[in-house]
Amino acid sequence: MQKPKILIVEDENLLAKDIHHILNNLGYNVSAIASSGEEAIQKASDTHPDLVLMDIKLKGDMDGIEAAKKIIGRINIPVVYLTAHSDDTTLQRAKLTGPFGYILKPFDKKDLQIGIEMALYKHETELQLRKLSRAIEFNPCTVVITDTKGNIEYTNTKFNQLTGYSSKEAIGKNPRFLKSGKTSPEEYERLWRTITSGKEWRGEFCNKKKNGEHYWESASISPVKNTEGVITHFVAVKEDITESKRLEKEKQDMEIKMLVSSKLATLGKMAAGIAHEINQPLTYISSSIQSIREDFEMDDVDKESIVKTLEKSYRQVERINQIIQHLRTFGRADDLEMKNVIIKKVLDNTLLLLGEKMRLTNIDFVCKEDAGVPLIRGNENQLEQVFINLMQNSIYSIEEKGYKGGRINVEIKNMNEKSGIQIDFSDTGKGIRPEHLENIFDPFFTTKPVGKGTGLGLSIIYSIIQSHGGEITCKSEVGKGTTFVISL
């Protein structure tokens, strides 16, 4: 460790040499000795000592206080005064220079060592505090310090720039003056309970600037404790996330538009199958009405038979209504509600729209489900879009093999390592070539001929699964089929 360098400023030659000798014995390095104020200023500039021992009464036009003032103004060096004078006038002048200590003459070796060590420690501490202060003051995040009642005691430059309030306007107020009304009272209560219990709180705020404009912040608020562990202040460090929130909203809007586009394409592809689904019960109802009419015309009315026929017809009407209602729900673009979902029910709804298509193409559908499969948190509409897209891709892939028939298997499994489910969705279609597998979830990537696909289906599936906090992977073998593994 390098020895501290000390500049001695003393106009009495014998005393200066004595101090030099003491400092050497104490392990300090004397950088120079000066006998006047002017010489002290020059020596300080030349040698850059770690500390100046400054006699207040110096011969010449400049005393030690004036010399110290100039040294401190030019170089950030701690000064300890050596003086035999303790009158109030001298002390008041000396105080104005911000000295790091006073050593009264005469002094002994111990007094000198203690005075120097305390001054060096105080100076180093002040340097660190100054660095910390600048780091806080010019931090790219807003920093707010409050007392234990929540009243603001400090705000940094970023806070002033972001909110439009000066520190003078903010100090003394409670941060609630920034409320926009978009954060619930319950959230503020949770925040206060957390920090007053000695823990850190993290979350997001929507606050209001001085000009009325709203802005979003990601905040971390922590208690500050003294050496006894008692909370004395709270410190909030907050990052402006307004722009990221705006981009997130734009992304969500774009995803909704893509979802709507995909749904329209899906409905177009399903139109023939849906028409057939509705046409079947309509044919039965039409035939039943014709039969009843003929019975009336022939005066051969069997009341019991008519009641049974009408009941069957009613069930067919209910089936048509179920299909139409489901189509209306599926076509909604603004349904983003997350709730507890039974995944098997979502699959059943998918079959309601695509079951007839699979029957007409001679494709078997097999679904196996583990016992005790939990509910998952999700959006039924979006999850149905996932299964519809997967089923349509499987139907197309099976048809592309060049012969009628095939199989789609779905297995719904419990995930033992965590509370969730795994869905294995496989088909016996033509498969995906290895070089295409890494790109299948990219937007607008498709291996289908022009006019047969938009390239958005699997991209939308991936986005929906991600938004549900899940994962989707794919494995495929050309000529044998494809399996998608979804975890939710």
Per residue in 354-398, pLDDT (tens digit) is: 887 788 888 899 999 888 888 889 888 888 888 988 988 898 888
- 366-377 confidence digits (pLDDT tens): 999 888 888 889
- Residue where a domain terminates, one of 189, 224, 240: 240
Reported confidence tier of residue 420, pLDDT bands at 50, 70, 90? confident
Number of domains composing the chain: 3
pLDDT > 90? residue 230: yes
Position 411 scores a pLDDT of 93
The answer on 257 and 219 residing in a single domain is no
Q: Which CATH number do you get for residue 65?
A: 3.40.50.2300
- 146-199 confidence digits (pLDDT tens): 999 999 999 999 999 999 999 999 999 999 999 998 888 888 899 999 999 999
- Residue where a domain terminates, one of 104, 136, 168: 136
- Residue where a domain terminates, one of 214, 240, 266: 240
Single-letter amino acid, residue 395: I
Please state, as a whole number, how many other Cβ atoms lie within 10 Å of the Cβ of residue 367.
14
The answer on 228 and 281 residing in a single domain is no
The answer on 337 and 296 residing in a single domain is yes
The answer on 467 and 393 residing in a single domain is yes
Range of the domain at 181: 142-240
Q: Which CATH number do you get for residue 209?
A: 3.30.450.20
The answer on 62 and 112 residing in a single domain is yes
The answer on 11 and 108 residing in a single domain is yes
Strands (E), 188-227: 201-208, 214-225
Position 101 scores a pLDDT of 87
Burial call 11-29: b when 16+ CB within 10 Å, e when fewer: beeeebeebbebbeebebe
Report field, pTM of the whole predicted structure over 0.95: no
Q: Which CATH number do you get for residue 424?
A: 3.30.565.10
**Helices H, strands E: what count in the chain?**
14, 17
The answer on 184 and 52 residing in a single domain is no
The answer on 210 and 101 residing in a single domain is no
The answer on 288 and 435 residing in a single domain is yes
Reported confidence tier of residue 454, pLDDT bands at 50, 70, 90? low
Position 150 scores a pLDDT of 93
Position 256 scores a pLDDT of 67
The answer on 389 and 253 residing in a single domain is yes
The answer on 147 and 78 residing in a single domain is no
Contact yes or no for 79/100 (Cβ under 8 A):
yes
Query: CB neighbours of 7 closer than 8 A, spacing ≥ 6?
Result: 30, 31, 32, 33, 34, 40, 43, 44, 47, 49, 51, 52, 53
The answer on 213 and 273 residing in a single domain is no
